[in-house]
Each structure stands twice: as structure tokens, then as C-alpha cells.
Amino acid sequence: MNPVKVGLLGLGTVGGGTLNVLTRNADEIARRAGRGIRIAQAAAKAYDPSSLSGLERVEVTDDAFSVVENPDLEIIIELIGGYSPARELVLKAIDNGKHVVTANKALIAMYGNEIFAAAQKRGVMVAFEAAVAGGIPIIKAVREGLAANRIEWIAGIINGTGNFILTEMRDKGREFTDVLKEAQALGYAEADPTFDVEGIDAAHKLTILGSIAFGIPLQFEKTYTEGITKIEPQDVEYANQFGYRIKHLGITRKTDAGIEMRVHPTMVPYQRLIANVDGVMNAVLVKGDAVGPTLYYGAGAGSEPTASAVLADVVDVVRTLTTDPENRVPHLAFQPGELDDIPILPIEEVESAFYLRMQVADKPGVVARIASILAESGISIEAIQQKEPTEDDSFLPLVMLTQKVMEKQLNVAIAAIERLDSVFGQVMRIRVERLDD
């Protein structure tokens, strides 16, 4: 049987890794797929031929649209990234009856509903395992391996740059800006690190996870997103003293009121496995009603780890080329007509415990007044610490952990606390998740 011919859009880090892994493991991949797989044509504006193996068998062009129009290709791998022209290329490939494999989390999070509807109508597949957590097969695990479960919640470290920064801050007591510069020098963070440090990258990925977990349309615009730029070394140290570690988590949970979709710094008990995932590694914790908690750990980015997920999707597509389109695994785990319009909860309607840090005057009665304000809003204090004063201290850090409370109640209390003359500046908050329910 003739090999399946594939078009590759992009010969950068992931595109080059995909070509290299396919060239190196061609025989093994063919044994798994049932047919050979060959990248016949690739589109790239610039690339390094010396870093690529098997390039001599690939026709390279700088016109990506000519690749998706090539009638000899059955599968298009989109590794350009971003919204445009990736969206236009993917939709054109689908319109031409080609299956699509992509690692583009931004594209799927923003335009996945449109893309999947077009694919459904045309009878082709769109596979996107590499869009979330790089080489970790988390999409397949949730969509297929846990298909018998009612997913209760997912919590994941799904951005390696943020995890590297927080790990360095904890282990070496370094400032955020200092570690960010190192992350950029090491290639972990882009020159413009906004998507990583402000949580946008993680929110793209969480949008996808929430959709396949709960059978809802993709709704990136409703995902609450908060970055790590306000975390200070003292917060990391106080968290440690309370028995917690700060991780930048994406959390989605189904409740009676709706679905939580939120990305933010989170304090996690140090004994949880996910609290001990360090450096640039990713991990996703999934709680199913039947299986209980399961943890998926591995490289969340990089040339060959991401290529591993890309090519696994290609193998899946090749295996189903002759399958009735109605009997394939649905793009978002649930059959297209079975997606629910469950509301996404605004962050004000989400219940969490909280870490609070504020600068307070070294005067009698200040702590009692703050505790009274919290109590008036129905907020219980679980633990409290205050730094011992020195002769030079007029304002001291006051740190506390609350029990679970609706965020809108906390907002009222914090507004009242910040109006006190005895409180200097804004109250720092970090949500606390024990991940044991």
C-alpha cells in the first residue's frame, strides 16, 4: 500500500522536530499505523537545513496555501501557530477534504467551534493532541481513556515558563523580573513573554481541557485569566511556612451552579504530587468519579516532545482514513449534537480558600479590626502570621489563610480593609486549592 502523503506547514522548532522524528522512526510508525507516512511537501519562510533529516525527500515551498491546495496530500500538519493565516489555512484544507493535525492551542481555543463544525460537515478529522501540554497525551486520556467517567475537575501546570519562574523563586529566593530574564536567555520565554507570564497561553489550553472534560463549546473569552507577575519572594516564603507551594494552575471544575474555568497563581499543599512538579515540566491532575485522581506528567514543550504528540495524531488519522466519519472519536469527546450549554461561572461566583497579605500599622487593635471585617463578610480565618516589629518598622506584613468563601464576599471585605488608615496599599490575594475533594 502506498504511503500516506502529508503536507507540513512550518519547519521551525516543532515542525523540524516532527520531520526528524518521523524520519528516524518511520518503520516503527508505519507498523503502528498500518501504512507508511511521508511528508511530501512543506511550507516555510525560513529554516535551517542542517538541523533537519529527510529533507531531501520533501518539496519545500514558501507558499503555505499551495500545500493545502495540493491534491496529492491527504493530511495537513499545521505548525505555524497564531490565529492568522493558520485559521484560513486550516479551513481551506478542510474545505479541500484534507484531515488536519495541529499543535495550535490559540487557534483551537479561539476558533475551534468553527473549525470542528466545518470538519464535521466535510467528513474529515482535526486532531490537536499537541495543543495542550506538549508531549503529554492528556487530550487522548480525557477524551478516550476516561470516557466512562464523569469528570469532576482538572487542575494543571500547563505552562512551563511560569513553572520555571516560580520554581526558581522558591528554590533560590529570586525576584520575578530576574528569573524572567534568565527564562528568556534560556529560550523558555519569548522576547514578549506576555502570553506565558499573564496566563493567556495556559488559558488557551484550559479552554480546550474544559470543553473535552464537560462536553461544552469552546469559550476562551469566559476563562478567568491571571498571571504571576505580582508574586513576590515573600509570598513564596510565607506559602512555604504554611505548608504550601505556589503553582500557576489552570483549574476547571463542574459544580451545581456551572463550570469554573480559571487560570491563576494557586497555593497547593506541598505533599500533593503536582506541587512537586518543578522547572519547565508540565503536569495535569484529573479527578474522575470512577477512577479517582490521575496525574499526567511530562515535557510540556520542546521540539521532539511536541512532535511526539503531533505524530501520534497523524497515526490516529491514518488508522481511520477508511472509517465511516460518523464512527470516529468526536473532536470534543462528546457527540456534536450532545454538547451542553452549561454556564461558565464568573470568578466572583467561584468558592476558594485564600491567602491574604497586607501591610498594616504597628498599632494595637489593627489585627482585631481586620478580623472583624472578615467576620462581617462571613469569612473565617484558618491561620495568621505577623512579622515581629523592629525600631524602623511602621508597617508590618500581616499574612493569613482563610477558609473557603465565595470570591464576591472576599471582594467586599478586601475593599473595606483597604479603606482602613492602618492598612497601607493593596491586599495581595492568592487562591488556595487543596485538591483533595
Domains in the chain and their CATH numbers?
4-135+303-329 (3.40.50.720), 138-299 (3.30.360.10), 349-432 (3.30.70.260)
Q: What is the pLDDT of residue 334?
A: 87
What does the alpha-carbon distance between residue 282 and residue 298 come to, in Å, rounded to a whole number?
6
Phi, psi of 336 (to 5 degrees): -50, -35
Q: What is the pLDDT of residues 250-294, one digit of tens each?
A: 999 999 999 999 999 999 999 999 999 999 999 999 999 999 999
Catalytic residues: 205
Maximum distance among all alpha carbons in the chain? Answer: 84
H or E stretch at 23:
helix 13-24
Query: Are residues 126 and 218 in contact, defined by beta-carbon separation less than 8 angstroms?
Result: no
What does the alpha-carbon distance between residue 391 and residue 397 come to, in Å, rounded to a whole number?
15
What does the alpha-carbon distance between residue 31 and residue 27 come to, in Å, rounded to a whole number?
6
H or E stretch at 292:
strand 292-299
Q: What is the pLDDT of residue 400?
A: 97
Q: Which residues of the chain are under the pLDDT cut of 50?
A: none
HSE (side-chain half, CA atoms, 13 Å) at 4: 27
Q: What is the pLDDT of residues 86-130, one digit of tens each?
A: 999 999 999 999 999 999 999 999 999 999 999 999 999 999 999
Q: What is the pLDDT of residue 324?
A: 73
Question: Residue 21 burial by CB count (10 A; 0-12/13-18/19+): exposed, middle or buried?
Answer: buried
Question: Residue 312 burial by CB count (10 A; 0-12/13-18/19+): exposed, middle or buried?
Answer: buried
HSE (side-chain half, CA atoms, 13 Å) at 229: 12
Share of the chain above pLDDT 90, in %: 91
Share of the chain above pLDDT 70, in %: 99
Residues forming beta bridges with residue 281, ordered by sequence position: 299
Query: Are residues 409 and 421 in contact, defined by beta-carbon separation less than 8 angstroms?
Result: no
Q: What is the pLDDT of residues 23-61, one digit of tens each?
A: 999 999 999 999 999 999 999 999 999 999 999 999 999
